Amino acid sequence: MPRYKLTIEYNGQLFVGWQRQKNGPSVQEAIETAFAAFCGHPVGIRGAGRTDTGVHALGQVAHADLHRVWRPDVLRDALNAHLRPNLVAILNVEPVAETFDARFSALRRHYLYKIINRRAPLTLDCGGAWLVKRRLDADAMHEAAQILVGTHDFSTFRASECQAANPVRTLERLDVERHGDTIEIRASARAFLHHQVRSMVGSLEMIGAGKWRPDDLRAAIEACDRTRCGTVAPPDGLYFVAVDYGEAAPDGPE
């Protein structure tokens, strides 16, 4: 069966998350429904990472196995037609080898968290950013963030319902930059724990507001205790940006 890699963008506000669930519409369900409508048979897809209710994606990746070969541009356009009016877009489709797996072949995942730091309410960014009215020191947030970079037990920064067997992760990047009223926090790692990015962002916000010092953040991660985590940032500002794969991944049917 030919396998295809999909690059996907979506607005997560109206979804219960990426994965199919019984309590509401998911992004996975929307795409699988579009596949079935176009292909005439059920198609299951596997995503590179799960996103929660309200979380967005600029470059989620999934793969699907089909019963026949399709031209990538035809498949992309057909899926987008069947996805309307869902706020989900298939940005790109490419054939890949049957050994490619959107989840397990991933070498690195990239996330962005967006804070709007101003007194005025959100308009264009409503549902797409965390509005923080108190002034934040982005430089202090970036400096403190480097405490979390590297290999650590991130038990403090994962959800209580996280199902990962091992809380140890290697955080390759955690950068904080201000652009006017916008503060962007970018995180990269091979894998993340459930709520890890939002938990780290919430604690960094406390640093920026002067409520925590860097030593407080260091003590929090060293405690390996969920109760030591700062405020968990809301899902609105979180974006699954991209996934890195090895050079040999794309090599499927023409």
Domain CATH for 100: 3.30.70.580
* Three-state secondary structure call for residue 25: coil
For residues 75 and 121, state if they share a domain: no
For residues 54 and 122, state if they share a domain: no
196 belongs to a structural domain: yes
Domain containing 158 equals 108-241
Domain CATH for 119: 3.30.70.660
For residues 37 and 113, state if they share a domain: no
For residues 59 and 113, state if they share a domain: no
Looking at beta carbons, which pairs linking 75-80 to residues 24 or more positions away fall under 8 Å? 75/4, 75/38, 78/38, 79/6, 79/31, 79/34, 79/35, 79/38
| HEC sequence for 56-110 | EEEEEEEEEECCCCCCHHHHHHHHHHHHCCCCEEEEEEEEECCCCCCCCCCCEEE
As a whole number, mean pLDDT of residues 156-177 equals 94
* pLDDT-above-90 percentage for the chain: 92
Mean pLDDT, the chain, whole residue set: 95
Total domains present in the chain: 2
**Which domain-ending residue is among 70, 105, 140?**
105
Binning pLDDT at 50, 70 and 90, where does residue 249 land?
A: very low
Binning pLDDT at 50, 70 and 90, where does residue 240 land?
A: very high
Which residues face 93 on adjacent strands?
6
- Of 209, 188, 155, 194, which Cα lies nearest the Cα of 55? 194
pLDDT of residue 247: 63
For residues 156 and 222, state if they share a domain: yes
Ranking 93-97, 164-168, 177-181, 201-205 by mean pLDDT, the lowest is 164-168
Q: Which residues are catalytic?
A: 52
Supply the Cα-derived Rg of the chain in whole angstroms. 19
* Stated pTM of the model: 0.94
Is 253's pLDDT higher than 50? no
**Which domain-ending residue is among 87, 105, 123?**
105
- Of 96, 57, 93, which Cα lies nearest the Cα of 77? 93
249 belongs to a structural domain: no
For residues 50 and 143, state if they share a domain: no
156 belongs to a structural domain: yes
For residues 124 and 12, state if they share a domain: no
